[in-house]
Amino acid sequence: MEKSLSRTILLQPFWRSTRNRFFPPGAFPLRTAAALLFGLVICLALYLVGVRVVGYFHRQSELGIILSLKIFQMAWITVFAMLVFSCMVSAVSTLFLSQDNEIIFSAPVPADRLFFMRYITTTIYTSWMMVAFSLPIFAAYGRVFDAGPLYWPLMFLAVTATAAIATGFGTTATVLLVNLFPARRTKDIILYLSLCFGIFIYLMFRLIRPEDLVNPDKYSQFLDYLAAISNPAAPYVPAAWAANLLSLYLLDRQVDWLLVGLLATTPLVFFFAGEWAMQRWFFSGYSKSQESFGGYRQFHGPTRYRPSAWRWIFRKEAKTFLRDSAEWSQLFMIGALIVVYLYNFKVLPLDRSPIREEYIANLIAFLNIGLTGFVVASLAARFVYPSIGGEGGAFYLVQAAPLSMGRYLLYKYIFYVLPFTALSVLLLAASNHLLKIEGPMWWISLASGLLLTWTLVAMALGFGAIHADFKAENRAAALGGIGAILFLFTAIAFELVIILLAGRPAYRLVTANLHGQTLQTGDLIGLAAWIGGSLATATAFSLIILKKGIMKLEEVA
Amino acid sequence: MSLINSGKNMRQPTGEQPAGEKEQTAAGRTAIQIEHLTKRFGDFKAVDDVSLTIKTGEIFGFLGPNGAGKTTTIKMLAGLLKPDHGRILLNGVDLAADPLACKQITGYIPDRPYLYEKLTGIEFLQFIASLYQLAPATFSANADHLLQLFGLADWRRHLIESYSHGMRQKLIMASVLMLEQPLIVVDEPMIGLDPKSARLVKELFRSRARQGVTIFLSTHSLEIAEELCDRIAIIVNGRIRTVGDLAALRKEARLEHSDLEEIFLELTGAYEVQEVVAALRK
């Protein structure tokens, strides 16, 4: 009986609901086609930006080539680490807390079949973004290094294998950890997962030692340095296999077949290990997951009631976040992200740059606006976008209350915009400090960064309202929907517009300041046009999307 | 009595009103006026030209087979769903024109107890009270009393995720009754409740109706409809089949001495079921 059940049968609800969502029967999938086209344009833009940046490094001395490859390796490893963590957090929800577990596990379905379905869906939910956005960047490397024909299949193998290994490892580790750790309830396990992730990141950076690699003086001869660079970084980390395989091919047109073999077989090893672990330990973990996080614990808060809707919406959001370990534990991930982010600025060898240090520092500070915006967009996609759909069935309480949807969204916006503002100010101010930025660029980066942040949070909320899925299994599932894809694409397009608008006036302001010149009338007009244009674009983006969100919520049943 | 005033009057923490007062204050007033209400989902007409008038202080039952359009009508009444045609007046105010004023006087109890899992029971009540701007004095007078009444007092500081289905349903009931709304819209009030709680809810509804609260409830339980409702409407395939008190329904079904179950089966055209039941009995 058990063996006759096909592996794919449990995937049918997922495939069919995905098909119905993206390709509704009896109608041309206009929205899907538009999203696809929009995505292709964004990928093309990322590719072109990638070609320019990597090309810039490539045209410098040999050190530039090496540094670009080192950044390539670090990007792989960081992305891999993030994938493992987000997969572990998602896996707790998808494996143990999914609502359909009640139906599936009460049926004669063996746990390994359940694992297959959860493994595939978790892989898709957690890694589509990484695959979609990393392929253009890695393709840019291929173009700049003028890679041979084998680079493209190798790149495809490396990206998919890395995603499959990260999710295979993440899901298997989650099944194991849920049973090994002394967490009384499955939901608390995420705290331990977060700690593991912190240790993981720390070990990874100790293994790569990026601070040594950007410091050739540490090596007695340049050749030693080159040897250190070309040595496989972190040979036990699968992402490094992918990075090393591609770096070697980019530099020497050689294929390391051992790495190809490792990349092809490791996902299978993790998958079968996961199936085995699932058969052995799923039931006890699932049983524990049905206990409440609070259990019989009592929660004491302010007993005095004050009739204030905004105060209680704030409180409800905060309590929901802080009492859900799947949510607040991601603060660890954000903490690790900030450390890694700022650390990169700390170790930048600006003093050895062939260009004047102030110029390159100002250029990096300018590009950092976009990077901060990207971090804000990713976090907004994770926390702000699902916050409307995350209300679930309880959303009727807000709909039935005498509170307008506009006001409700405004309260939500204020709740989320405050921490996001603090985060972007921290990232921008700290990186400017590390880059020793003073003068106009400091203010340009702060003002543009804040404008980006405030608009991106509004956009995430608006898209979240337009595409709210109140029946989503969990918040991770919301990220796989068309709304999240559209939000990310729109966010990146908006960032590109703001950065492009700022380019010329920022350049004129900074050079005038560095040379002690006064600004010409034309520059002042350009500056005013930039400020006006950016504000108008940001306001238009925010208001249009929020307005659509309000209308959608008002008509939703 | 204006719409908002009626809400404010209800908010005074008073004791139970004598039954006779209802007639003095509210007799003959229309609380809910539904005119030619229609709702389509694609090609499917879920509610088709429904018109109803419900008086203040009335307990009005809304019956029908599965998929007849009960929940759709109730959701439109609670302002959760936009009708395609027709209009709804609550205490004389058009729901489409001033939805917030209408929501301010309406309490909605859904059939499925979706709540904020990470809040405690008392936090949930505070949240709901703040959405409706309930006065602190009314909150203090009602929240503890209702939690006690529904046997939730010991659970008030526990997370809702640890509540059973019935406890959640009772918490929703408590949250709506706490608001002292002059109008209560209930979808399947007794689902998940134990007999003791069901009895309590029935008594609370009766007592509120005596105070002038209008209750519009949909139910599958014919026993509850028979026991509780002043008048009953039967909806079939989105259209009102009949409206009236039990005597009028008996007359309509030409079943003078039958109970509501037989009348319901007759009026909803469930002849096959009657035949199957008869066959099974044999």
pLDDT confidence tier of residue B57, bands split at 50, 70 and 90: very high
Inter-chain CB pairs, A–B, below 8 Å: 116
pLDDT above 90 for B107:
yes
Highest averaged pLDDT of the listed ranges A292-306, A384-398, A503-517: A384-398
Amino acid A557: pLDDT:
44
pLDDT above 90 for A146:
no
* HEC-encoded secondary structure of A341-396: HHHHHHCCCHHHCCCCHHHHHHHHHHHHHHHHHHHHHHHHHHHCCHHHHCCHHHHH
pLDDT digits (tens, 9 = 90+) for A352-411: 655 667 777 888 888 888 888 888 998 898 889 999 988 888 888 888 899 899 999 999
The mean pLDDT of B183-210, rounded to a whole number, is 90
Amino acid A109: pLDDT:
80
Q: Worst-scoring range by mean pLDDT, A72-76, A232-236, A481-485?
A: A232-236
pLDDT confidence tier of residue B151, bands split at 50, 70 and 90: very high
Using the beta-carbon criterion (under 8 Å), do A402 and B108 form an inter-chain contact? no
The mean pLDDT of B185-202, rounded to a whole number, is 88
Q: Worst-scoring range by mean pLDDT, A190-194, B69-73, B259-263?
A: A190-194
pLDDT confidence tier of residue A200, bands split at 50, 70 and 90: low
The mean pLDDT of B59-85, rounded to a whole number, is 90
The mean pLDDT of B248-272, rounded to a whole number, is 72
Nearest partner of A46 among A115, A135, A130, judged by Cα: A135
pLDDT confidence tier of residue A251, bands split at 50, 70 and 90: confident
Round to whole Å and give the CA distance between A305 and A295.
25
Amino acid B3: pLDDT:
37
- pTM of this structure: 0.72
Highest averaged pLDDT of the listed ranges A210-224, A517-531, B150-164: B150-164
Highest averaged pLDDT of the listed ranges A73-87, A362-376, B17-31, B128-142: B128-142
Contacting residues for B277 by C-beta, under 8 A, at least 6 apart: none
Residues B207, B208, B211, B215: is their CA dihedral positive or negative? negative
Using the beta-carbon criterion (under 8 Å), do B108 and A306 form an inter-chain contact? no
HSE-CB of B255 using CA atoms within 13 angstroms: 14
| Probe site for chain B from A102, A290, A305 (most B CB atoms < 10 A) | A305
Amino acid A80: pLDDT:
81
The mean pLDDT of A546-552, rounded to a whole number, is 93
pLDDT confidence tier of residue A188, bands split at 50, 70 and 90: low
Please tell me if residue A59 touches chain B, with a CB cutoff of 8 Å: no
A155 contacts A139 by C-beta, under 8 angstroms: yes
Q: Worst-scoring range by mean pLDDT, A256-260, A348-352, A355-359, B118-122?
A: A348-352
| Probe site for chain B from A292, A397, A404 (most B CB atoms < 10 A) | A397
Round to whole Å and give the CA distance between A164 and A170.
10
Please tell me if residue B101 touches chain A, with a CB cutoff of 8 Å: yes
pLDDT above 60 for A441:
yes
pLDDT digits (tens, 9 = 90+) for A232-244: 555 677 888 888 8
pLDDT confidence tier of residue A108, bands split at 50, 70 and 90: confident
pLDDT digits (tens, 9 = 90+) for B89-106: 999 999 989 988 999 999
A85 contacts A174 by C-beta, under 8 angstroms: no
Q: Worst-scoring range by mean pLDDT, A341-355, A359-373, B25-39?
A: A341-355
Which two three-digit tokens encode residue A471? 């029946």
* CA quadruple B66, B72, B77, B79: dihedral, nearest 10: 150
pLDDT above 50 for A297:
yes
Using the beta-carbon criterion (under 8 Å), do A298 and B157 form an inter-chain contact? yes
Please tell me if residue A308 touches chain B, with a CB cutoff of 8 Å: yes
Chain A residue with Cα closest to B41: A557
Amino acid A180: pLDDT:
67
Give B78 to chain A, closest Cα distance, Å. 6
pLDDT above 90 for B36:
yes
Backbone angles phi, psi at B57, to 5 degrees: 85, 5
Backbone angles phi, psi at B81, to 5 degrees: -135, 135
Write the DSSP symbol of residue A7.
Answer: T
Share of chain A above pLDDT 90, in %: 19
Share of chain A above pLDDT 70, in %: 80
A78 or A384: which leads in pLDDT: A384
Amino acid B86: pLDDT:
95
B20 or A13: which leads in pLDDT: A13
CA-atom Rg of chain A in angstroms: 25
Nearest partner of A275 among A95, A125, A104, A101, judged by Cα: A95
- For chain A, give the mean pLDDT: 81
Residue A554 with chain B: CB contacts under 8 Å: 82
Q: Which A-chain residues 272-291 have CB contacts (< 8 A) with chain B?
A: none
Please tell me if residue A402 touches chain B, with a CB cutoff of 8 Å: yes
pLDDT above 90 for A453:
yes
